[in-house]
Structure 1
Amino acid sequence: MILGTGIDLLKISRVKKVHDKYGELFEKKILSEDEIKKKTKISLTANKLAKFFATKEAFVKALGSGFTKNISFKDISLKNKLNGKPYIILSDRVQKYLYKKTPRGYKPIINISISDEKDYVVSNVIISFLKK
């Protein structure tokens, strides 16, 4: 059973332009606290920032909420498993919202795919439910 699917296509040069202009203010708007703490360990290129942005946009589209209902970029953390597979961690507020949409006896599954080519990043998120 699928709750929703979201996709976001983003031009990396657009993100670079905004980041060059606003710097840390832009980072603080789109990165979670955990992502901000870890930014010293990773190089925040425009490509990486675009992946964060696009994946979070795709997630709220799949959730069906958009950035409303008090959901912000900061409520969603993008991470990678050791094999590179992306996954997200949600704030308590977004988890509660997702669980309200989850049918009884099911658990939510979030699948993410991120790809980039030249000056573009695309992220696709599918939220589905698996019987417990």
Structure 2
Amino acid sequence: MIIGVGLDNVQTKRMQEMLLKWAERVEDRVFTEDELNYSRSKGEPHFHLAARFAAKEAFFKALGKGLREGMSWTNVNILNDELGKPYITLQGRARELADSMEVEKIHLSLTHTD
């Protein structure tokens, strides 16, 4: 059974501007260490961080909860497997809510555009 579908789009330029203005604040509040390390290992980190931001937004929309009910941005971790395929891991309140809604699988696709 499909619980929900979420879609979000973030302009990479906007993410780049946010990082230039508020790098530490945005990085600490929104991204996990794993996400930051992965993105920093790439040529243009803001492309990868924008995609992760959009994926988190889409997840919250699919769950129908937004950032309500005690969830935080860092409860959702967007990673890549050894072949580069993105996937989501959940921690804390996001994991609890997903479990209570009997979420068994999360499908994820990322794209980067200017």
- TM-score (norm: length of structure 1): 0.77
Kindly indicate which of the two structures has a greater share of residues assigned to strand: 1
> Deviation above 6 Å: which 4+ runs of structure 1?
none
Q: 1 CA distance for matches of 2:39 and 2:55? A: 21
Q: 1:22 to 1:50 in 2, by over 3 A?
A: same
| Rg (Cα) greater in structure | 1
2:113 paired with 1:114? no
Structure possessing the higher relative contact order (Cα contacts under 8 Å, 6 or more residues apart): 1
- 1:89 counterpart residue number: 89
How many percent of aligned residue pairs carry the same amino acid? Answer: 33
Q: 1 CA distance for matches of 2:40 and 2:14? A: 24
Note the residue ranges of structure 2 that are not aligned, 5 or more in a row: none
- TM-score (norm: length of structure 2): 0.89
- 1:122 counterpart residue number: none
State the secondary structure of the residue aligned to 1:14. helix
Kindly indicate which of the two structures has a greater share of residues assigned to helix: 2
Note the residue ranges of structure 1 that are not aligned, 5 or more in a row: 120-132
Aligned-pair RMSD on alpha carbons? 1.8
